[in-house]
Chain A
Amino acid sequence: MNALLRARGLTKRFGPVSALAPLDLELGPGQALAVLGPNGAGKSTLLRLLAGLARPSGGVIEIGAEAGNRAQRRRAIGLVGHATFLYPTLTTRENLLLTARLYGLDAPAERAARMLADEELLAVADRRVGALSRGLAQRAAIARALLHDPKLVLLDEPWTGLDARAAERLSRRLEALRSAGRALVIVSHDLARVAGLAARALVLVRGRADWLGGEALRDEAALGPAYTASVARLEGAA
């Protein structure tokens, strides 16, 4: 398998505190990985390391087949974080236009327009992001992350703030991305939604990892108990 994402011995320390114990991770095209765990477990830290926002204290991260330079790696990644990364005084369209320019996309105006249409954001295209509701802002953030068609999509609690219809549309969008060969890493508390998407799950408790796969990820009914058991195991081992 041609791995899109490979991490070996990944660790992160904040001063004396270890946020992530050495972690190995591999993800190929068309694969989705769920990252689960209680608050403060290190899930967001992991995502930011993979996105290249933070440097690992130890270990190696490889994105794409060849080593590539920093710019290539960044181009391959799309991140939906806790914050939207959008400028509140610019309109939705202007934010997307800026992103298109920063990522060096051809015909930035058209790309932005198309994304606005795809995400059903045309109604608020020319409204300032600062004036958008939380749900709409979240959708705009997702639009921003996917605009340059990244090979690896990292999402941190993406369903937060979305209404049922938008949440369902996001799930379908992510499934479509996965089928089209993109790799996904999704941090979420929503076990029902990730069970449907991901074939594997990484459970993090205080920086330590446990893996779940196969039958456990079949649906929420299976994932729930498996997850609880994992957490208990990791906490017990402390």
Chain B
Amino acid sequence: MSRNTSLLRATSVALAACALLWAWFAWRAPIDAMQGPIQKILYVHVPCVVGAYLGFALTAFASGLYLWRREERSDRFAAASAEVGVFFCTLVLLTGPIWAKGTWGRWWTWDLRLTLTLLLYLVYVSYLLLRSFTEGSERAARFAAVYAIAGLAVIPLNYFAIDLAAGRTVHPENLGRGSLGAGMGAPFALGMLTAVAAFAHLLVRRLEVGVLRGERDRREAESAREEA
């Protein structure tokens, strides 16, 4: 318990520091000539993308570990990572259309990255639903692990598939070194860092919840047994 608390504190501090720096730089960053102030929402959107995909990668990795070693903590990690990841993915799908409406005038297009992220979101949701609707924690862990691994194998394929179908992408191309205006590099970089810090912090919290739930279930089961 103490290990978790110190980890929690460490991530809280890291998160607070990153968030403050990032917010300050984002606030101070110049307003984009073409897009106007709404461009600043990208400082939230892009880091959230990092969180979303990081979450899935970690879930898939923990799932593989679980199937190999069958350790409960790997499964707990996979579940926690998925929940935090889906949160970030939701933010991506919320901030993206807001920015799109402000700049392109449309809430949604079926371009490569948007569709891919939507699909990622659906995979996340299906993963979490699978976990809830399977009876038996060992079975749920096993099934979810298989699904996560299948998902990991397919997400890159989706990239090529949508690319094939859509052809041109409407999404802004990835910002190379020079394409960022002066003063925009810092907030983006700090944003990424903040996202990772936020992810870590939320993950630690969620893991703690998982452990506490396990203990509560154990105690409930024991007292039910006493009464019987």
Q: When chains A and B are docked, how far (Å) is the Cα of A16 from the Cα of B137?
A: 9
- Is residue A43 within 8 Å, beta carbon to beta carbon, of the partner chain? no
- Is residue B214 within 8 Å, beta carbon to beta carbon, of the partner chain? yes
Q: Top 7 closest A-B pairs, CB basis?
A: A16-B218, A16-B217, A15-B137, A16-B221, A17-B221, A15-B217, A14-B136
Interface residue ranges of A196-211 to B (CB < 8 Å): 206
* Set B70, B138, B220, B225: member contacting A206, Cβ < 8 A: B225
Contact B138 A14 (CB under 8 A): yes
* Set A15, A55, A238: member contacting B225, Cβ < 8 A: A238
Residues of A within 8 A of B220 (CB): 16
Max chain B C-beta neighbours (<10 A), residue from A15, A16, A55: A16
B interface secondary structure, majority: helix
Interface residue ranges of A37-79 to B (CB < 8 Å): 55
Question: B69: shortest Cβ distance to chain A, in Å?
Answer: 13
Question: B48: shortest Cβ distance to chain A, in Å?
Answer: 33
List, sorted by A's number, 23 A–B pairs whose CB atoms are closer than 8 Å. Answer: A14-B136, A14-B137, A14-B138, A15-B136, A15-B137, A15-B138, A15-B217, A15-B221, A16-B214, A16-B217, A16-B218, A16-B220, A16-B221, A16-B222, A17-B221, A17-B225, A18-B221, A55-B70, A55-B138, A206-B225, A206-B228, A238-B225, A238-B226
State the interface size on chain B (CB cutoff 8 A). 13
* Given A14-B136, A15-B136, A16-B217, 4 extra CB contacts under 8 A: A14-B137, A15-B138, A16-B218, A16-B222
Q: When chains A and B are docked, how far (Å) is the Cα of A238 from the Cα of B225?
A: 9
Contact flags A1-40 to B (C-beta < 8 A → 1, else 0): 0000000000000111110000000000000000000000
Across the two chains, which residue of chain A brings its CB closest to B214?
A16
Q: When chains A and B are docked, how far (Å) is the Cα of A16 from the Cα of B136?
A: 10
Interface residue ranges of B107-137 to A (CB < 8 Å): 136-137
Max chain A C-beta neighbours (<10 A), residue from B138, B214, B217, B222: B138
Residues of B within 8 A of A206 (CB): 225, 228
Residues of B within 8 A of A18 (CB): 221
Across the two chains, which residue of chain A brings its CB closest to B226?
A238
Q: When chains A and B are docked, how far (Å) is the Cα of A18 from the Cα of B70?
A: 17
Question: B139: shortest Cβ distance to chain A, in Å?
Answer: 10
Q: When chains A and B are docked, how far (Å) is the Cα of A15 from the Cα of B217?
A: 8
Residues of A within 8 A of B228 (CB): 206
Residues of A within 8 A of B225 (CB): 17, 206, 238
Contact flags B69-84 to A (C-beta < 8 A → 1, else 0): 0100000000000000
Question: B72: shortest Cβ distance to chain A, in Å?
Answer: 10
Q: When chains A and B are docked, how far (Å) is the Cα of A18 from the Cα of B218?
A: 9
Interface residue ranges of B176-228 to A (CB < 8 Å): 214, 217-218, 220-222, 225-226, 228
Max chain A C-beta neighbours (<10 A), residue from B136, B214, B218: B218
Across the two chains, which residue of chain A brings its CB closest to B225?
A206
Residues of A within 8 A of B217 (CB): 15-16
Question: A193: shortest Cβ distance to chain B, in Å?
Answer: 29
Across the two chains, which residue of chain A brings its CB closest to B137?
A15
